[in-house]
């Protein structure tokens, strides 16, 4: 992204991923409808994500239109820069709040998607506790950095644009430094969460790696996050005084570009695992439903009986329905029973192919 193409690049990345995010979130809800599965936290969290990303994009569009974002300081006189300082600072704060909230919602959605797949019995397993703890950490991470965004200059809010920045905004640099690094660390941690659970699957190594690949799709924005962190660290390690010697607008533009790229890619990609139902099962070689089937109490019990496993191809949906009406109903949680029964109904209707279960 060259300095001359920066305005169009900002508009392009925001417009492109805003459109893609609306489409993928819409398809996510459509997929749940086709699957006849209830909407849960991982689904509902996508709605504020879209609106927050929309808000952040609008701020960028307005900033580019007003020549606050996407331009270099050499494009303006000192008088023009001073006149735009207040509006620029206010837009940056608004954008910081919206983009940070969007990233937090994406993380929350990913964590609760893991819970949808792996926490099927309602019991407090180790993985269930870890995911709840992770969601709590993300929540407090959001609250902390929202507070720091608003009070990075203490009660001297106008210090961001009235020339007293160095005097009052003493935590701005540690705050930004902590934000980009903690964001990356949280992404890596959430990305690694399902790996131990996938390793427990009773299937081939090739299929395990394929399943991991689907979950890895949720964080393809990790590269943009690393790029953003590199830009911030490079400038922040030089200190506030050094920043005044550089072109602050260029640094701001690069930060905005990679932040919107990270948010947009993550927002789109976090929906892709849920859309695997709509993709070609032959191409994927598995279904996410099969993962949940392996971790369900019914599948665990079945895996312990070699004879049942050997004759799996002869089991019909009617046989399984009958089993649900007897002993298994007392063993499975009500919501798990219902969802699995719905899958057998979908199998009868030709909507869901049970033969693709692991």
| Fold of the CATH domain 6-278 | Rhopdopsin 7-helix transmembrane proteins (1.20.1070)
Per the listing, tokens 């899958």 go with: 343
d(CA 106, CA 109): 5
Determine the 3-state secondary structure of 124 from DSSP.
coil
Contacts with 24 (C-beta within 8 Å, 6 or more apart), sequence order? 267, 268, 271, 272, 275
Contacts with 156 (C-beta within 8 Å, 6 or more apart), sequence order? 164, 168, 169
The pLDDT value given to residue 43: 93
Over residues 93-138, the pLDDT tens digits come to: 999 999 999 999 999 999 999 888 888 766 678 888 999 999 999 9
The answer to whether 308 and 302 have CB atoms below 8 angstroms apart is: yes
Cα–Cα separations (whole angstroms), residue 11 to 84, 126, 262: 20, 44, 15
Q: What is the pTM of this model?
A: 0.74
Ranges of residues in the chain with a pLDDT under 70 are 1-5, 121-123, 163, 217-220, 235-247, 279-358
Closest CA to 184 of 146, 133, 231: 231
Contacts with 232 (C-beta within 8 Å, 6 or more apart), sequence order? 176, 177, 180, 255
Q: What are the sequence ranges of the domains in the chain?
A: 6-278, 312-358
d(CA 287, CA 270): 16
The answer to whether 191 and 218 have CB atoms below 8 angstroms apart is: yes
Over residues 239-289, the pLDDT tens digits come to: 555 555 566 777 788 888 988 998 998 899 888 888 877 764 434 444 445
The answer to whether 105 and 50 have CB atoms below 8 angstroms apart is: no
């Amino acid at each position: 992204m060259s300095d001359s193409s920066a305005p169009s690049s900002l508009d392009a990345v925001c417009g492109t991923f805003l459109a893609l995010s609306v489409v993928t979130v819409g398809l996510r809800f459509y997929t749940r409808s086709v699957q006849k599965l209830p909407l849960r936290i991982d689904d509902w969290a996508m709605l504020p994500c879209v609106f927050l990303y929309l808000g952040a994009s609008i701020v960028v569009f307005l900033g580019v239109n007003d020549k606050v974002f996407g331009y270099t300081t050499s494009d303006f006189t000192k008088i023009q820069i001073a006149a735009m300082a207040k509006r620029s600072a206010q837009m940056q704060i608004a954008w910081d709040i919206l983009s940070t909230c969007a990233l937090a919602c994406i993380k929350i959605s990913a964590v609760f998607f893991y819970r949808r797949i792996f926490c099927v019995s309602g019991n407090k397993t180790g993985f269930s506790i870890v995911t709840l703890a992770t969601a709590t950490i993300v929540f407090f991470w959001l609250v902390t950095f929202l507070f720091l965004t608003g009070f990075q200059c203490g009660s001297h809010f106008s210090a961001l644009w009235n020339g007293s920045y160095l005097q009052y905004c003493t935590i701005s640099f540690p705050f930004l430094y902590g934000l980009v690094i903690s964001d990356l660390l949280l992404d890596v941690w959430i990305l690694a969460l399902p790996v131990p659970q996938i390793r427990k699957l009773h299937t081939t190594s090739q299929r395990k790696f394929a399943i991991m690949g689907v979950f890895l799709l949720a964080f393809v924005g990790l590269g943009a996050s690393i790029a953003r962190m590199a830009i911030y660290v490079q400038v922040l390690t030089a200190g506030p005084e050094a920043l005044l010697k550089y072109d602050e607008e260029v640094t701001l533009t690069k930060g905005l570009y990679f932040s919107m790229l990270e948010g947009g890619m993550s927002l789109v990609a976090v929906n892709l695992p849920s859309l695997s139902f709509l993709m070609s099962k032959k191409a994927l070689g598995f279904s996410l439903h099969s993962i949940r089937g392996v971790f369900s109490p019914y599948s665990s019990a079945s895996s312990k009986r070699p004879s049942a496993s050997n004759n799996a191809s002869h089991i019909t949906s009617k046989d399984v329905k009958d089993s649900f009406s007897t002993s298994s109903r007392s063993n499975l949680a009500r919501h798990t029973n219902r969802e699995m029964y719905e899958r057998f109904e979908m199998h009868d209707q030709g909507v869901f192919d049970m033969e693709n279960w692991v």
